[in-house]
Amino acid sequence: MSTETTENPQAGAAHGTVPSGIQDIAFATGHYSFDLAHLAEKQDIDVNKYYIGIGQETMSLTAEDEDTVTMGAAAAQRIIDRNGTEGIRTLLFATESGIDQSKSAGVYVHGLLNLPREVRTIETKMACYGGIGALQMALGIVARNPEEKVLVIASDVARYDVDTSGEPTQGAAAVAFLVQANPDILAIEPAQGVYTLDVQDFWRPNHRNTALVDGKFSVGAYLDALVGAWNDYRAHGGVGFDDINWFCYHQPFTKMAVKAHVRLTEEAGTPLEKAEAAAALAPTFGYNKQLGNSYTASIFLGFLALLDSDEEIAGQRVGFFSYGSGAVSEFFVGVIQPDYRDHLRAEEHQAILDAREPVDYDQYRALHPGTMVQPLDNYKTQRQTESPFRFEGVDEGSRIYGKS
Ligand code: CAA
């Protein structure tokens, strides 16, 4: 992996267009945390299967009065507090764990944040790929109207049935970021490698809270999609492997990214051993190891961890690989901007993780929503969250949100 910087830190603008990308980025998570040591103890297995084997330590759990909307709004509030609303004319809300079959979760966030009415708001869905899909749409909007900004939110609660292989990879988090021209953090280059294949590796029917997954098959599907997206990226003008300084993968569990990087280095003709791949990716793991899978938000949390790491990465290229089961994937590259450090908030981010309330195994089971969606048109939630926003319950089928 090269540690050199690109000659032009704003490399990436398509010919004749203004560079665009990420100006600011923030995250939020659930109220509770659950250490996988409790799960391993209950299952009477070595915790290192989780800590080392899959590379996860704790997972975030949402309180009864939290969901993708409250987490998304909390993350987006940070972006709005720091940047204001001027120029934002689009809000894209990406999620796998949507809360309504019709209405975009983004509209609830729009209301909670009192955003101007002159905004288009939609939800994107393609499993974990939805956030990168939204980013690409945002870049298209900014390319057409460089004075406009797009607020993107990626928010998910990842739930599997208890006593399944996916259980230790559950989690919850939201990321919000602002896409605009001449960004301060990341300018995204125009080349894109895309790949779609209809595979049944992970899915969630409408009546279920929990995803169904063919675990081992999904790992293979992820790796095949990576090779497909990479080769398409290279065929469409993408830079070579050695020109990319850092790699940021979708992390359903952090070890998945290691498997992916080993596979990509084989494909690129410069194979790395597992340990070397793990070392190369280590700066991207810090947040996801603590939060668990957050589907659409996971890749951005990997990026945020890289930004907050001790590495000095101004002017360097980051390769992103997004995988959404089902399956859609994409590879693209961005360049870290010279003043990115002005936007770093590592201490604030650690404080968000530390503020979570740890729970034991019985509390975890009580918080788990179970397999089936409860067909209730009226209920009230108990007050548990310390987030600025609450999911208050359902009234005649309408979800009710409020400020805490
Ligand atoms: N110490 C250290 N390592 C240990 C260990 C110990 N005591 N015990 C086991 N391990 C290692 C194993 O050797 C194995 O390592 P390798 O993968 O390097 O071979 C690793 O721990 C995992 O062990 P298993 O393969 O036995 O684990 P499993 O079968 O119980 O579960 C899984 C693995 C199937 C991937 C499971 O986590 C799962 O179903 N996850 C959900 C699906 C998923 O995340 N798929 C990823 C691709 S799909 C996607 O990316 C979209 C998405 O977000 C869902």
Q: How far is CA 120 from CA 105, 106, 135, 396, in A?
A: 13, 10, 15, 27
Of 246, 241, 238, the closest CA to residue 316 belongs to 246
Distance 106 CA to ligand 1 centre (A): 33
Q: What's the CA angle centered on 68, arms 196 and 374, to 5 degrees?
A: 95
Distance CA 55, CA 257 (A): 10
- Give distance in angstroms: CA of 253 to centre of ligand 1: 8
pLDDT in tens, 143-173: 999 999 999 999 999 999 999 999 999 999 9
Overall average pLDDT of the 391-400 stretch: 97
Which residue(s) pair with 208 in the sheet? Answer: 372
- 248 included as an active-site residue: no
Please check the confidence at residue 302 and state whether its pLDDT lies above 70. yes
Testing ligand 1's pocket by substitution, the residue of 213, 223, 273, 323 carrying the most ligand atoms inside 8 A of its CB is: 213
In 104-218 the beta strands, taken as DSSP E runs, fall at 120-124, 149-158, 171-181, 186-196, 202-203, 212-213
The predicted model gives 204-226 an average pLDDT of: 97
CB neighbour list of residue 100: distance below 8 Å, 6 or more residues apart: 399
Give, using CA atoms, the residue closest to atom 28 of ligand 1.
165
274 in ligand 1 pocket by Cβ < 6 Å? no
Task: Verify whether ligand 1 is closer than 6 Å to residue 295 (CB atom).
Answer: yes
Does any ligand 1 atom lie closer than 6 A to the CB of residue 293? yes
Token code pair at residue 20: 């665009």
Question: CB of 48 closer than 6 A to ligand 1?
Answer: yes
Structure tokens of 253? 């569990």
Ligand 1 pocket check for 204: Cβ under 6 Å: no
- The string over 99-137, giving b where at least 16 C-beta atoms fall within 10 Å of a residue's C-beta and e elsewhere, is beeeebbbbbbbebbebeeebebebbbbbbbbbbbbbbb
Protein residue closest via CA to atom 48 of ligand 1: 218
279-300: average pLDDT: 98
How high is the pLDDT of residue 12? 47
- Residue 10 — very low, low, confident or very high, per pLDDT cuts 50/70/90? very low
Residue 400 pLDDT more than 70? yes
The structure tokens 């799960």 sit at 39
Whether the CB of 215 sits within 6 Å of ligand 1: yes
Mean pLDDT taken over the chain:
95
List, edge to edge, every strand of the sheet that includes 328-336.
120-124, 88-94, 149-158, 171-181, 20-29, 186-196, 328-336, 317-324, 246-249
Catalytic residue check, 250:
yes
Provide the percentage of residues in the chain whose pLDDT is more than 90. 95
pLDDT at 80 over 50: yes
Minimum CA distance residue for ligand 1 atom 7:
49
Q: Is 292 in the pocket of ligand 1 (CB under 6 A)?
A: no
Which entry of 31, 110, 128, 330 is annotated as an active-site residue?
128
Give the position of tokens 């019709």: 102
The span from the CA of 375 to the CA of 280, in Å, is: 47
pLDDT range class, residue 334, cuts 50, 70, 90: very high
Binned at pLDDT 50, 70 and 90, residue 16 comes out as: low
Amino acid letter, residue 73? A
Q: CB of 213 closer than 6 A to ligand 1?
A: yes
What are the φ and ψ backbone dihedral angles of 185, each rounded to 5 degrees? -105, -55
Ligand 1 centroid to residue 243 C-alpha, Å: 31
Q: E strands, 208-295, where?
A: 212-213, 246-249
Pairing of strands 32-35, 186-196: unpaired
Tens digits of residue pLDDT in 252-267: 999 999 999 999 999 9
Task: Tell me how far apart the alpha carbons of residues 324 and 337 are, in angstroms, rounded to a whole number.
Answer: 28
User: The pTM is what?
Assistant: 0.96
Q: In 3D, which of 120, 137, 133 has the Cα closest to residue 94?
A: 133
CA angle 121, 13, 233 (to 5 degrees): 85
**Active-site hit among 31, 110, 250, 261:** 250
Query: Cα separation of 326 and 347, whole Å?
Result: 37
pLDDT over 80 (residue 238): yes
